[in-house]
Structure 1
């Protein structure tokens, strides 16, 4: 598929995806705060994935724009699903809470941890989460993957959003810190035998990771 064909298809999907008033509020709030949020295509993908992986289960959302990504995941989880949102900024948590309330999501279906992700994730219960979604700096992504794998229940899924940096990792001339870190992460994932992973052209480039339960213990 050519780049122009992919762009045309993405634009069509985004333009024809219906979203709730609560999601519209969340997008407006994210835009006002200058946050990068999942587009309509990606948000609908998250809802579909959560309806399969997280129905009445637990998820973790590491994202400044949890008002959008968290809402998309909660939309597919069912009435007994629960999301733990991790972000250091109180204002991000406040708008996410407002978006969840606007969507009639009960307060016992989510919690907010105002902490640095790599510091707090080690304190979460191991093998207790069916989905972990993260928007994180490439320099921290490798450590996050290791910590997230410990949290996944069997059959669970990790989603790294925008981690392929719009494909700049394929450009050898790009040697900046973020691109170099994203490139190292991509190489390390390809070398691992304890996981399965897939790269998708969603957003700036998404990576899905699941544990290979049949791999020998390290």
Structure 2
């Protein structure tokens, strides 16, 4: 029988991945802890624990640094400032003149992020900490002006964040979504919790759309990476 012309049909005929070939827990921990973390990042992570919030994992933070460096990021948007763990990771990879625009509804969290950035000598002119609801702030930012957008905020709004991110990214810019596996719930088809469903739907919309070239990476709690395709207008 000849191969089907429809790529989706061809993909459906592929054998499922053998779960036995997945990394064992010890290998996952080794990979997560492979890159050392700075004292400033450790302090910001401790502050996050005090606030009861979960920042990006150590492995995810290391990957953020590598990604920002790889694309020479100069203009970055962060949806969810937290206490500065992810911001520090981004600054470690961004160009020396790069500017981070970070949005969070919690001003107290952002105050701690500001302290974290200052502790490593990042001058105030290199970041904008905007307190407010992301879906109110993001539409005010310029189309196609950013190299990287990190999504790490309200899971119930992930689809809306993705739409805004696609609009904000330049062609070739990078979308990064944290918690893409959501504590192993996204991969479980039996899980019908609201947050799980909405994350899963956001990921599938990216996969099935034509605006982003995407890969789902099982680092930390899962990172979805998507490169903005050139010549494809954002779906408004």
Assess same fold via TM > 0.5: yes
Q: 1:143 maps to what in 2?
A: 160
Deviations 1:99-146 (A, max 9, x none): 001111111110111011111100001111100001133321111111
Deviations 1:27-74 (A, max 9, x none): 11111111101122111111111112244x110111242510001001
- 1:48 counterpart = 2:66: yes
Equivalent of 1:7 in 25, 28, 32: 25
The answer to whether the 8 A contact 1:35-1:64 is kept is: no
Moved more, 138-147 or 101-110: 138-147
Structure in which a larger fraction of residues adopt helix: 1
In the alignment, structure 1 segments of 5+ residues that lack a partner are: none
Equivalent residue, structure 2, for 1:128: 145
Report how far residue 168 of structure 1 moved: 1.6
SS of residue matched to 2:147: strand
2:187 to 167, 170, 187: 170
Q: What CA distance in whole angstroms lies between the structure 2 residues aligned with 1:128 and 1:147?
A: 12
1:31 correspondence with 2:32: no
Please tell me the root mean square deviation across aligned C-alpha atoms, in Å. Answer: 2.0
Distance 1:183-1:96 versus aligned 2 partners, 3 A rule: same
Give the unaligned 5+ runs of structure 2.
1-18
Report the 3-state secondary structure (helix = DSSP H, G, I; strand = E; otherwise coil) of the residue aligned with 2:67.
Answer: helix
Instruction: Classify 1:2/1:98 alpha carbon distance in 2 versus 1 (closer, same or farther; 3 Å).
Output: farther
* Structure 1 counterpart of 2:118: 101
